[in-house]
Each structure stands twice: as structure tokens, then as C-alpha cells.
Amino acid sequence: MNRVRIVDLPGIEVDKEVVGEQAYHLLSAPALVRYALAQADALILPAQYRTGDPDRFELRRDCPLFVDACLQNPNNTVRKAADDIARRLGRNLGFILLTLHRGDPENRQVRPDWTAREWARWHRIREVHIGGGIVSGILGDRLIHTARELIASAGYANYLNVTKSPLPRSMAVLGASRYLPPYTHNALCLDIGQTSIKAAIAQYEEGVLTGLTWLPTSNVAWRWRNAPEAADSIDPDEVLRFVTQEILKLLEAANRQGIVLDPDIMISIAAYVHGGELLGNGIYARMRLLDEDTRVLLAHAIQDKANHNTVVHLIHDGTAAAAVHAGEKDAVVLVLGTAIGVGFVPESALMLRPISPDVRYQQSVA
């Protein structure tokens, strides 16, 4: 989806800002950063945000929170600039969804790697759930409201319904916890992204997810630019060491609280997953150069450093996030972060761990 390009939507006036642009450049943390830099004076953007590479790690992490806070700033100029950014992102989302739903020939031609099958799948989508750090606050509410307005004005309100997903910042952890084996009771579940690592201890009673105890969030170890070739220079052993160290820290945090964990560790990861192999050209896919089965690679690395029998499970982060809405028909989840994560919602939840309607969310004391 990130490489879908908006050429034209016949019969709909398309904003000049989106014509010819790819979805990634219109709806991601780096996109928000570019819009914020363009409004730097009006936002009173701090000096440290105005210099250097606009795609650098610190901006991707901090700028969305800054813009979100500006929506409640008492200064009218600041507040309007932030609202303009929210509306711009919302209109971008609306145009992207209309492009995917309609599948006009002009837009198909510039995505030659997609067949009629991919376009048909998007045409069937009716429910679009939005998650990710960008939409976790007021900014997300404004963005989604604007997208809904644009879709309605184009005459497609009965075909595309856009909503914010619950726990938008941490939905991959919640969704991934539904894929743990039925025998687990207390298991470490984490979401390894391109900006941060979020984790929780998933607790089950009689097979039902009854609680998530959130563990401290970590930042990624490297300051890289999010471009297709950017990860090529990163040593795969460095990636393995980083992921292993982060998991060991989380296991120690659970141990300090006296929690006995099952061997199973569920990892939602920013990479395509095929069995135990990580695919694509991102940071974490570099580990496939060390072993085709990253599950075994990580399990051995963890066991070598800790007295913890380990079984590692891997799942694509978009697929994990989509499990939050399992059981819905013709639905998709979009996770807006460093890029756009996509997960098509499974129409059946029979093979997934059920979530208790009274599920408890609590913060770890560690």
C-alpha cells in the first residue's frame, strides 16, 4: 500500500498536494514531519526539530506528539497550524482510500506489480480501522473526521467507514497476544517497530485473554533513515544483539515482579513473515542473513544468555494489529507510523485467543 500512487480520480477534484504522490509520502510520521517543518514558524517549532534530516529518528518519534499537543495550545496561530496539518493528513487518507476502493486505470498503471486480485481485494473493503502512534491523541480524531468528511463529499460514505481502533498505539501487542498457543497462561508479547519496542505480559484464564501488563517501552538502537536501501549497511549481528538484549531486559522486568513466564514469546515485528523467515528490506529482515528461521535464531540467542527455556513466535505487525478486529467482514487495519502498516482482518476468530470483555490493562511497576 505504501507505494500506491494517486494520479487521478475522475469525477473528483483531487488536491494538488496529493497528485502524483505515493501513499507513504502522504500518510506517515515522516509526512507529518514535513508538514510541520513547512509550518515551523506558525507552530513555534523548537530549534532542534528544524535542522538536519527531516526523516531522522528523533523527529519521527517526537514531532507527532508535539503537533498533537499544539491542537490544545492557547495560541490561535499555533492551534490553527496544527489543525491544518491534521486536516491535510486526513484528506490524504481519504484520497488514498478512494484510490484503493475505485481502482481507476490511471492509478493501476503506476502500480504494475499489483494484479487485478490486489485491486479487487481493496475494492471489497468496507471497514477501515486506523491505529498507530500518530492517531493516538486528538490529532488522530481530527485526521479521521476529515477523512470521513472527504469520503462522504465524494459520495462514498456507504462504501468506506473509517474509525479509530482501540489502543491505537499498542494494538499490535494486543492482536499478537491472540495468536499465542492455547496452553499459555503468562507470556511475553512484544511489538518491535522501527521507532520503538512496546511489550506486555499477556495473562490468560481458561484460554481467554484477561489482562495485559505493560512493560517499559524502549527506543530502537539505531538512528536510521527510513528508505528502501537504508538498512543495507546495518550489520545483521547488531540487529540480533539488539533484539536479544531487549527481550532479556523484558524477561528480567517480569522476573523482578515474581511473574513466572511460559516459554512462548510472541513477537510482532516490522517485517514480512513467512513461517520463521523475515522478508523485505527493513532493519529486522537483516537477521535472515544469519539463519532462515529467525525464530530458532532468537530462541538460541535468548537461551544462551538467560536461564529461560524459549519458544519464539513471529508475526507481521500489520497482521497482528488486524487480529484486534477479528471476526469482521471486509475490514482492514492501517497502522500509521514510520510507514503505513497494513493488516487485513480475518473474518473468523475461531483460531484466535478470545479477549475478555473485562480485559485488564495495567502498567508494570518494573
* Domains of the chain as residue ranges with CATH: 23-125+134-161 (no CATH), 171-363 (3.30.420.40)
pLDDT attached to residue 290: 96
| Strands 340-344, 355-363: pairing kind | unpaired
On average, the pLDDT of the chain sits at: 93
pTM: 0.92
pLDDT attached to residue 64: 94
Residues lower than pLDDT 70 in the chain? 52, 54-55, 221-230, 365-366
pLDDT attached to residue 185: 95
pLDDT attached to residue 365: 58
